[in-house]
Amino acid sequence: MFKSDLLKGKRILVTGGGSGLGRAMADRFAELGADLYLCGRRRRLLDQAAREIEQSHGTRARPLTCDIRDSDAVETMVATIWQDGPLHGLVNNAAGNFISRTQDLSARGFAAITSIVLNGTFHVTNACGRRWIAGGAAASVVNIVTTWVWTGSAYVVPSAMAKSGVATMTKSLAVEWAPHGIRLNAIAPGPFPTEGAWQRLLPGDKQARDYQDSVPLGRPGEHGELANLAVFLLADGCDYLTGAIIPIDGGQHLNSANTFARLRSLTDQDWIEIRASIKQANDRDRAERG
């Protein structure tokens, strides 16, 4: 579908680029010639991803450990990148999420999601945007949101709120920054299985099956399909496209407006077991970060 050198000469930052959908997009960008910066909190995953990308595609992939919740850390990271020259593209993919009854959420649990998704996305976008504007450089930003920005979704309220904020930022800055040649668009994925997200959102085979059964096309998405859409939005051939939020979900949001509404049938004991499963996944992640 794309020319083999479509992104040659492009320098792209992918937040959350060490695993999951971020890694899939980074692989595709490198395959098409882009040089990459991979941002995340788990150094081991970043190093492995960068090494494998460089070996597979012969392009540069630089791992950068950064907690995007920390605006000072983001400024340091972006300043380091700009020492090589301005970025051409930014993909705000880093996120966090888990299912929970809202009455069970602590302030800390709420902030754990919103500080990454909303605050972190803004920190990275604005740090890059100020430099693009000051230097007179055009650029493209792709934000990863969800279909909940249109429908809301029970049991993932912090994520639905934060992703809606990112969608609003996308549309707002698409207008504000258009005179500077900076485009902002967003992708709203449906079911794309990844190890981390699946454990926190769909613990148990039955919940995963029910979720996928709500997709009219009858299957979850393949990572390469989302990566190709991100390539399209970053490439020079769609310079007139900005402020768009594009669903890629097999028609799910048209078929089941409130993604996790079915969870209202769960019992108190079900929620106890779910919280234990999510805690186990979180503990494993913290151990990997050291």
Q: Tell me, yes or no, whether 4 lies in a domain.
A: no
- Other Cβ atoms less than 10 A from the Cβ of 135: the count is 12
Per-residue model confidence as pLDDT tens digits over 111-133: 999 999 999 999 999 999 999 99
CATH code at position 110: 3.40.50.720
CB proximity list for 52: less than 8 A, separation 6 or greater: none
Residue 96 and residue 113 in contact, taking contact as beta carbons nearer than 8 Å? yes
31: tokens are 């395959």
**Span 79-105, mean pLDDT?**
95
Q: Tell me, yes or no, whether 182 lies in a domain.
A: yes
Q: In 83-180, which ranges are continuous DSSP H helix? A: 107-114, 121-135, 148-151, 157-176
The domain total for the chain is 1
Q: Tell me, yes or no, whether 51 lies in a domain.
A: yes
Q: Tell me, yes or no, whether 266 lies in a domain.
A: yes
Q: Tell me, yes or no, whether 194 lies in a domain.
A: yes
Position 243 confidence tier, pLDDT thresholds 50, 70, 90: very high
Q: Tell me, yes or no, whether 168 lies in a domain.
A: yes
Question: What percentage of the chain has pLDDT greater than the value 90?
Answer: 72
Q: Tell me, yes or no, whether 157 lies in a domain.
A: yes
**Span 128-147, mean pLDDT?**
97
CA atoms of 81 and 83, how far apart (whole Å): 5
The domain of 86 spans 11-289
Per-residue model confidence as pLDDT tens digits over 32-88: 999 999 999 999 999 999 999 999 999 999 999 999 999 999 999 999 999 999 999
Q: Tell me, yes or no, whether 1 lies in a domain.
A: no
Is the model more confident about 255 or about 147? 147
Sign of CA dihedral 70, 72, 77, 79: positive
Q: What is the pTM of this model?
A: 0.87
Per-residue model confidence as pLDDT tens digits over 204-242: 555 556 667 788 898 889 999 999 999 999 999 999 999
